[in-house]
Amino acid sequence: MNKGMFNKKLIGSLMLAVLLSACKSTPMVDKPAGVEDKSPSSSSVAQADGSADTSGVKEVVIDSNANNSNNPLNDPNNILSKRNIYFDFDSDAVKAEFRPLIEAHAKYLVANNNAKLILQGNTDERGTREYNLSLGQRRSVAVKKSFNLLGVQDKQIETVSFGEEKVTPNCADENCHQANRRVDIAYANE
Amino acid sequence: MNKLLNKLRPVLLFIISLFMSLAISPANAALEIEISGGSAQQIPIAVVPFGGSIVGQSSSAAQVGNIIGADLRRSGLFRVLETGGVVNRPTDINQVKYAEWAALQAQALVVGRVESLAGNRLKVSFKLVDVLKQTQLAGMEYNIAPNQLRMTAHKIADVIYQKLTGEAGIFASRIAYINKSKGRYTLQVADADGENPQTVVSSNEPIISPAWSPDGSKIAYVSFEKKKPIIFVQSLMTGQRLTLANFKGNNSAPAWSPDGTKLAIVLTHAANSQVYIINANGTGLKQLTKSSAIDTEPTWSPDAKWIYFSSDRGGRPQIYKVSSIGGEAQRVTFEGTGNLSPRFSPDGKLLAMIRNDGGKYRVALQDLSSGQVQLLSDGGQDESPSFAPNGRVLLYATRVGGRGALAAVSSDGRVKQRLSESGGDVREPAWGPLLN
C-alpha cells in the first residue's frame, strides 16, 4: 500500500478540536454541476493505493465544470444575478421585499420561453436530513406560486429541495439559521 | 458508573490507539474507534499472534490475531488479555501449555497461523480452545486470496463470537457512510471496524441516504449532482449506475424491500412529499401514501407487510404505518415533540427512531409489543439510526466539535463506540448485511 496515503491518526482529536462556530452571513450560491460518469465502460478510476481490494468496490467520480458564458443571468449588475429568497422561521410566506427579484425573473421567463428555472428550497439544519428535504420543498412550491401569478407557466419551473445539504453548518445563532431558510433560483443548463 | 467510565476513557483510548497503530500501520485507515462501557460479565480471552509468514507480502500474519482481538473487544462482551508476557506462542492446539493461559485467567484461547500456498493463495487456520476443559471449541481453515486476509480475520471473529455468546456475529459485514471533506462528498464503504475504506462514488454535490440492497451487492443513494435529488442504484463490484428515480421534483429516501425486488421512495412530482413503491429496475411506479402533508423516510417491516414512515399530517412529525399494498395509515408514535427516521430491528420486534425532545434529536428504541421506549443516545443532533445485522448494535450519526461523526450503541444501551475520521465530516451511516 502507498505510504503517502497514510493518514496520521489522531484519536480523540475531534473531541478536543476547536468548535468551528464561524457562521457565514452570505449564503452559499448554488454551483452549476456537470456530470462525468466513469462507469465501467469508460476508463477506470484507479484506487489510491493501486492494490486489489478485498471486496472489489468500483469507484465512480462525478465532477462539476462551472463554466458560464456572458449573459444577463450572471451579470452582477443585473437583478437577475440575485438568486436568494429568505424566509421567516417556520414559514413558507414569500416576503414583499423579494417581489422585485421575483418579478425580474418572471419577466425573463415570459420573454424566454425556452428558459427553465429550478427553485431550490433550503432549511436550517435542525431535524433529520430527509425530513428537511421535504420541508425545503414547501418553500420552493410557495415561490413557484408567486411565479405562476406573474404568468410563468408550470413547464418552465421545477421545484426541488436541498433540505439542509447546502446551508451553513453549525449555526451558533438565529441570524445564521435565518440565512439558511431560503429558496435559491437556478436556471437549467447553467 | 459514569465516573468510572470517565476515568477509564483515557486508558481505553491509549490502549486502543496503541493497538491500532501497531496493527494496521500501512492502511489508509479512516475511521477511528473509541469505546466506552461494556458488559458486566466479559469473557476473558487471549488471542495469540498468528504464526507463519506470508511470502512476498508486506502485511504480516500477526495482524490477523490483532484484528480478531479488536473485533471481540469492540463488542464489549470480551476482555481481550495482553499476551505480550507469554513466551510460548502456540499456533496450534497441540502446542498449548494450558497452565500459562490459566495463570493469565484466560477462559478461551485463540491460536492460528497463516501460510503461503502455491498460486498466490493463503491458508489461514485457527482453533478456539477452552482453557479450563483443555478442549477445542471450534476450528476452521480458509483458502483465500491475499486481499481477503482482513475479511477472513473478521469471519474468524464471528465464529468465536457465535461460539461463546450464542449469537450471530457482525464483524464480517460492512458499513456505508458519507464523508464530506474539502467540499467534496464521498460515499464510502468500510469494514465494520472502520478499516479498509473504499470510495463508492464521489461528487462535489451532496450525497445522502445510502441504503444497502439486502444481498449487499448494491447501494441506493440520493445524489444532488444534477441540481436536484435523484435516486441512483449502484453496483459495488462494477460501479454501474442505474437512475432509479428522476421524476420532476425531489426523488429521495430509498428503502429496499426485504427481498430486494422493490424500493419505497419519496417523490414530490405531484406536489408534497409522498411515499411510492418502485421496482428495483426503475419500472412499475405506484403511489402508496395519499395525504396533503409531508410523508417521508419510509422503511419496510422485515415481513414486508408494512411500510413505516414519518409524517406531519397530525401537526408535528410522527411515525405512521401503512400496509405495503396500500390503505389507510395508522399512527405509531405519540410521545416526544416529534419522532422521525423509523428503522426496524432484523427480528421486527424493535423500532429505532430519532426522537425530538424540545429540539434535541436522539436515538430512541421502542419495543413494539410493550410500547416501551428507551433513549439510547445523548447528543443533540443525532440522526440516521441503522441496525447491525444481528440487531445487537445500532449505528448512528452524531456531532462532535461541530463535525459529523459516527457512533454505535448496543441495543441495551450499555456499550458505546464512536467512530470518527480525522479532518472529515462523516454522516448518513448504513450498516450492510453479513458477508458470506
In chain B, where the domains are located: 38-165, 173-434
Distance CA A75, CA B38 (A): 61
Residue B290 confidence (pLDDT): 95
CB B398 within 8 A of CB B406: yes
Q: Which of B28, B228, B428 sits opposite A6 (nearest CB)?
A: B28
Fold observed for domain B173-434 = Neuraminidase (2.120.10)
Amino acid at residue number B299: T
Q: Can you give the pTM of this predicted structure?
A: 0.81
Between residues A170 and B322, which one has the greater pLDDT? B322
Amino acid at residue number B211: A
User: Which range (A17-21, B43-47, B405-409) has the least confidence?
Assistant: A17-21
Residues 107-126 of A with CB under 8 A from B: 118, 120, 125-126
pLDDT band with cut points at 50, 70 and 90 for residue A89: confident
In chain A, where the domains are located: 69-190
Between residues B132 and B84, which one has the greater pLDDT? B132
Pull the grid cell for residue B245. 428515480
Provide, rounded to the nearest whole percent, the portion of chain B with pLDDT above 70.
89
Using alpha carbons, list the distances in angstroms from residue B93 to A138, B138, B168, B326: 66, 11, 25, 58
Shortest CA distance from A168: residue in chain B: B402
Residue B113 has phi, psi (to 5 degrees) of -150, 160
CB A121 within 8 A of CB A183: yes
Provide the residue count of chain A: 190
Residues of B in contact with A170 (CB under 8 A): 399, 402
pLDDT band with cut points at 50, 70 and 90 for residue B58: low
Q: Is the pLDDT of residue B15 over 60?
A: no
Pull the grid cell for residue A116. 427553465
Shortest CA distance from A29: residue in chain B: B227
Q: Is the pLDDT of residue A46 over 60?
A: no
Mean pLDDT over each residue of chain B, to the nearest integer: 88
Between residues B423 and A50, which one has the greater pLDDT? B423
Q: Which of B208, B227, B241 sits opposite A39 (nearest CB)?
A: B241
Nearest to B241 by CA among B286, B282, B287, B204: B282
Q: How confident is the model over B33-50, as a mean pLDDT?
A: 78
Q: Is the pLDDT of residue B56 over 90?
A: no
Residue B397 confidence (pLDDT): 96
Fold observed for domain A69-190 = 60s Ribosomal Protein L30; Chain: A; (3.30.1330)
Shortest CA distance from B189: residue in chain A: A57
Q: Is the pLDDT of residue B46 over 70?
A: yes
Q: How confident is the model over B171-194, as a mean pLDDT?
A: 94
DSSP structural state of residue B435: P
Does A8 touch chain B if contact means CB atoms closer than 8 Å?
Answer: yes
Q: Do B28 and A62 make contact, defined as CB atoms within 8 angstroms?
A: no
pLDDT band with cut points at 50, 70 and 90 for residue A26: very low
DSSP per residue over B196-210, as a string?
Answer: S-EEEEEESS-EEEE
Q: Is the pLDDT of residue B97 over 90?
A: yes
Q: How confident is the model over B49-55, as a mean pLDDT?
A: 81
Q: Do A158 and B381 make contact, defined as CB atoms within 8 angstroms?
A: no
Q: What is the pLDDT of residues B242-262, one digit of tens each?
A: 999 999 889 999 999 999 999
Amino acid at residue number B142: Y
Q: What is the pLDDT of residues A52-68, one digit of tens each?
A: 344 678 888 886 544 45
DSSP structural state of residue B92: S
Using alpha carbons, list the distances in angstroms from residue A129 to A20, A141, A165, B94, B356: 20, 19, 8, 56, 14
Q: Do B297 and A5 make contact, defined as CB atoms within 8 angstroms?
A: no
pLDDT band with cut points at 50, 70 and 90 for residue B363: very high
Interface test with B, best of A60, A61, A67, A176 (most B CBs within 10 A): A60
Parallel, antiparallel, or unpaired: how do β-strands B184-191 and B198-203 relate? antiparallel
User: Residue B112: in which H helix or E strand, if any?
Assistant: strand B108-117
pLDDT band with cut points at 50, 70 and 90 for residue A39: very low
Residue B359 confidence (pLDDT): 87
Q: Do B198 and A57 make contact, defined as CB atoms within 8 angstroms?
A: yes
Residue A11 confidence (pLDDT): 30
Nearest to A149 by CA among A186, A97, A94: A94
pLDDT band with cut points at 50, 70 and 90 for residue B88: confident
CB A118 within 8 A of CB A186: yes
Q: Is the pLDDT of residue A28 over 80?
A: no
Architecture of domain B38-165: 3-Layer(aba) Sandwich (3.40)
B238: helix, coil or strand?
Answer: coil
Sheet of B350-357: strands edge to edge?
B338-344, B350-357, B360-367, B373-375
